[in-house]
Amino acid sequence: MIEINGIVEKIIYRNEENGYTVAVFSSENESLTIVGNCIELKTSMEYELKGDFIHHKKYGEQFQIQEVSEILPQSEKGIIKYLSSGIIPFIGEKTAKKIVDSFKEETLKIIEENPERLLEIDGIGPQKFEKIKSALSENKDLREIMIFLNKYDLGTSLAMKIYKEYDAMAIDVIRENPYRLAEDIKGIGFKKADGIARSMGFKEDSQDRKRAALKYTLSMAALEGHSFLPKDVLIKRTKKLINSSDEDLESEIGKLSLDDRFFIEKTEDEVNCYYAPYLRAENYIAGKLNEIVNYKFDDSMEISDYLKGIEEKQNFKFAKNQSLAVEEAVKNGMLIITGGPGTGKTTTLKAIIEIFELMEKKVLLAAPTGRAAKRMKQATSRDASTIHKLLEIGFSNDESINYGYEEENLIECDVLIVDEVSMVDLMLMNTLLHSIKLGTRLILVGDKDQLPSVGAGNVLADLIESGKIKVVNLNEVFRQSEESMIIENAHLINSGKPPKITNNREFFLINESDENMSLNTISELVSKRLPNYYGIESKEIQVLSPMKKGVVGVANLNRTLQKTLNPKGSEILVGENILRLGDKVMQTKNNYNLEFRIESDFYVEDGKGVFNGDIGYIVEVDEEDRSVVVLYDDVKKVKYEYSDIDDLMLAYASTIHKSQGSEFPIVIIPLHYAPYILLTRNLIYTAITRAKQAVVLVGEYKYLDIMIKNNRVSKRYSNLCKKLVDFNV
């Protein structure tokens, strides 16, 4: 093994998941290419590398890294560069200079052995010192973990996740049972955990291995939307991971049932394997809906005269099913209203709200996301909130719901109307129903043809399919602005027919077979062509892609659009990505503890909670502290400390799934090759119905045709429908 010392000149490539790095390294005044899985390297930093020279067919001689050691700088200039490199959050170049001016060459020794002396530095007060001290401690633990994990090809990003999950105990936890990584760490699958375990000496037929494979298979099923897996399906899927007999796996399934997180439900004709919360949720939802639907109300009223009054006042006539929806809302304890774009859902909702207000009933409005709630508020001219805020749910750090149901915390209302119900998964519906008093009318509104929830379950479809809950389908399309091409084409696509592409001001197709050319076209459309054509700002345009990876996947689209729309400004590096002043960003997970301040012309409000899918703009960047401030909805400011910034991603482009519940003036959709499972009718239908003013398709028509013809709706294992029927609702 050869040892070389030198300085990293440039990082050419780095995979944050496994740490694989390609960089230019200067050693003894010669530049060479270094490659391999290693800890995160910093440019301009000095390292000792151990490894061997190899010859690559295409790229020639390279140095294959086996081990990396950091060489701490000795000069004052080198120490300043080291401290301000991002190695310690909250120390930027200005602070680094002050520290080195005070402590000279002794700086690193003092920081390591006597960090309290940093309080001597002008600008480092007690509060900032505590942050730096905490970061130093975390840095030390993290570097030990990274060195330990490096031999297993786990990079910086995963090392950070592992550290956040297990803290300083990470190495001990992994040594005891590396299979926990697949269970606890997003981004580590069974195969990666299994590779670590096998290299640590765990046997192929170990009980831990078989049990971990079963758990992982069941957890992957939940991510696909399944509430459970039949035992035979669980065994079949698990055997794709490990070479084990049906008998051995069946035996382990039996032992899994001793774990209170799992449950085996046996019926006359099948055995189903659940994560226990999903089983409890199915059972509770079926029982609670039985009570709601069968509740007898004695306050119904004749509404025909009321509806006629609205028609005369607003000079229009309700469609048959709109009138029916209003009547059924008053008559029943529960109602589902479905309908596509332009079918009058908003008009119907407003009529329902008004008649309940005439009856002096308290009506509350809610939706699954902040964006959907905002749309609901604008459409009805009434307050609307997210379901989570309405319920004031407590959450743990992993976003699992804290089920603390108390009688005094039940929702105080007579009528609860929930919009965008196709997005509501099994666990959220369970929580919602736990919080509703018997005697509360429940009205669910949604488009049954949109994408199902990201989380487990198929709630809206199951409720409708059961046939036990009153459903009114709004099926008459009203022309908006005389002729809305977006609405017309959405309904054509939903019925399996090709859209009318006339390239008028509402619906365009730009044919482009090359993905890179499509990428360039999208960049031009967002930055120049569409803003000039419509007289709007680029921020009113949203790119929606079916996929995350690839040339026209979300990640690459965001990098490209950032360079085009926001190339310069104060910035910080987060993993492989840059967050810059002025960037459009999205919150990627619910964070109920993040503080915000709303400042408007009329009031100031402080509160907590930022939600998955919220889109805003970075209005402040502190390069010293590595923190940013994001402005949501033009009034809501949220400060992200360095520890929370991982929850942000660029949002010039997003997946179609992430766009559910939102509307944008203009939507651009790339049409290129993607896995067949993503090229579905309900995906393109959902994307098109996000647009209010125009839709621009960029790519090949054949992929649009494939999506329209592919009406394959992935089967989700759910017993909610069956349980609703069995309850004789």
Local structure of 36: helix, strand or coil: strand
Other CB atoms within 10 A of residue 84 CB: 20
Q: How confident is the model at residue 28 (pLDDT cuts 50, 70, 90)?
A: confident
User: Pick from 70, 105, 120: which residue ends a domain?
Assistant: 70
Give the structural domain span for 308.
Answer: 282-480
DSSP count for the chain of H helices, then E strands: 26, 30
Any domain includes 647 = yes
Other CB atoms within 10 A of residue 428 CB: 23
Comparing CA positions, the residue from 453, 372, 467, 380 lying closest to residue 415 is: 380
Chain segment 83-133, per-residue pLDDT in tens: 887 777 788 888 999 999 999 989 989 988 899 999 999 989 998 899 888
Residue 51 sits at φ, ψ, to 5 deg, of 170, -150
The residues, ordered by sequence, that sit 6+ positions from 398 with a Cβ below 8 Å of its Cβ are: none
Write down the mean pLDDT value for the chain. Answer: 88
CA distance linking residue 523 with residue 562, whole number of Å = 10
Highest mean pLDDT among 43-52, 551-560, 623-632: 551-560
Any domain includes 432 = yes
Same structural domain, 595 and 652: yes
Helix, strand, coil abundance in the chain, percent, nearest 5? 45, 25, 35
Chain segment 397-425, per-residue pLDDT in tens: 444 444 444 555 788 899 999 999 999 99
Any domain includes 717 = no
Q: Is 380 marked as binding a ligand?
A: no
CA distance linking residue 440 with residue 471, whole number of Å = 18
Residue 32 vs residue 602, higher pLDDT: 32
CA distance linking residue 187 with residue 185, whole number of Å = 6
Q: How confident is the model at residue 617 (pLDDT cuts 50, 70, 90)?
A: very high
386 strand-pairing partners: 367
Same structural domain, 432 and 331: yes
User: Pick from 19, 52, 70: which residue ends a domain?
Assistant: 70
Highest mean pLDDT among 62-66, 300-304, 695-699: 695-699
Chain segment 430-457, per-residue pLDDT in tens: 999 999 999 999 999 999 999 888 889 9
Local structure of 461: helix, strand or coil: helix
Chain segment 155-178, per-residue pLDDT in tens: 767 787 888 889 889 999 999 999
Q: How confident is the model at residue 599 (pLDDT cuts 50, 70, 90)?
A: confident
User: Residue 667: is its pLDDT beyond 70?
Assistant: yes
Comparing CA positions, the residue from 601, 598, 603, 602 lying closest to residue 616 is: 598
Any domain includes 553 = yes
Same structural domain, 670 and 628: yes
Q: Average pLDDT for residues 643-668, to the nearest whole number?
A: 91
Query: Encoding tokens for residue 394?
Result: 């407590």
Q: Is 344 marked as binding a ligand?
A: yes
User: Can you give the pLDDT at residue 176?
Assistant: 92
Chain segment 207-217, per-residue pLDDT in tens: 889 999 999 99
Q: Average pLDDT for residues 259-275, to the nearest whole number?
A: 89
Percent of the chain with pLDDT over 90: 57
Q: Write the secondary structure of 65-100 as one string of H (helix), E (strand) and C (coil).
A: EEEEEEECCCCHHHHHHHHHHHHCCCCCHHHHHHHH
pTM across the whole model: 0.79
Can you give the CATH number for the domain in which 663 is found? 3.40.50.300
User: Pick from 70, 96, 127: which residue ends a domain?
Assistant: 70
Can you give the CATH number for the domain in which 35 is found? 2.40.50.140
CA distance linking residue 306 with residue 497, whole number of Å = 39
Query: Encoding tokens for residue 186?
Result: 């997003």
Same structural domain, 577 and 629: yes
Any domain includes 176 = no
What is the total count of domains within the chain? 3
Other CB atoms within 10 A of residue 471 CB: 18
Same structural domain, 397 and 301: yes
CA distance linking residue 225 with residue 423, whole number of Å = 12
User: Can you give the pLDDT at residue 490?
Assistant: 93
User: Can you give the pLDDT at residue 150?
Assistant: 72
Any domain includes 168 = no
Q: Is 345 marked as binding a ligand?
A: yes
CB 546 within 8 A of CB 656: yes
Same structural domain, 476 and 546: no
Residue 48 sits at φ, ψ, to 5 deg, of -105, 125
Query: Encoding tokens for residue 454?
Result: 């990201």
Question: Would you list the DSSP string of 106-118?
Answer: GHHHHHHH-GGGG
Comparing CA positions, the residue from 451, 526, 175, 243 lying closest to residue 460 is: 451
CA distance linking residue 100 with residue 81, whole number of Å = 10
User: Residue 395: is its pLDDT beyond 70?
Assistant: no
Q: Is 569 marked as binding a ligand?
A: no
Same structural domain, 440 and 588: no
The residues, ordered by sequence, that sit 6+ positions from 397 with a Cβ below 8 Å of its Cβ are: none
Any domain includes 223 = no
Same structural domain, 382 and 466: yes
CA distance linking residue 149 with residue 160, whole number of Å = 11
CB 720 within 8 A of CB 457: yes
User: Can you give the pLDDT at residue 69?
Assistant: 84
Chain segment 232-252, per-residue pLDDT in tens: 999 999 999 999 999 999 999
What sections of 151-274 are H helices per DSSP? 156-166, 170-176, 180-184, 190-199, 207-223, 231-238, 246-256
Beta strands in 371-474 (DSSP E): 385-386, 394-395, 401-402, 415-418, 441-446, 471-474
Any domain includes 57 = yes
Same structural domain, 476 and 502: no
23 strand-pairing partners: 11, 34
Q: Is 60 marked as binding a ligand?
A: no
Same structural domain, 440 and 469: yes
Alpha carbon distances (Å) from 72 to 69, 144, 291, 624: 9, 16, 69, 21
Alpha carbon distances (Å) from 68 to 46, 47, 48, 71: 10, 7, 6, 10
Chain segment 122-157, per-residue pLDDT in tens: 989 998 899 888 888 877 787 788 778 877 877 767
CB 445 within 8 A of CB 309: no
Looking at residue 525, what DSSP letter applies? Answer: I
User: Can you give the pLDDT at residue 480?
Assistant: 59
Looking at residue 411, what DSSP letter applies? Answer: B
Residue 495 vs residue 56, higher pLDDT: 495
Strands 271-275 and 664-671: unpaired
Q: Average pLDDT for residues 648-653, to the nearest whole number?
A: 96
Same structural domain, 451 and 532: no
Chain segment 538-558, per-residue pLDDT in tens: 999 999 999 999 999 999 999
Same structural domain, 543 and 652: yes
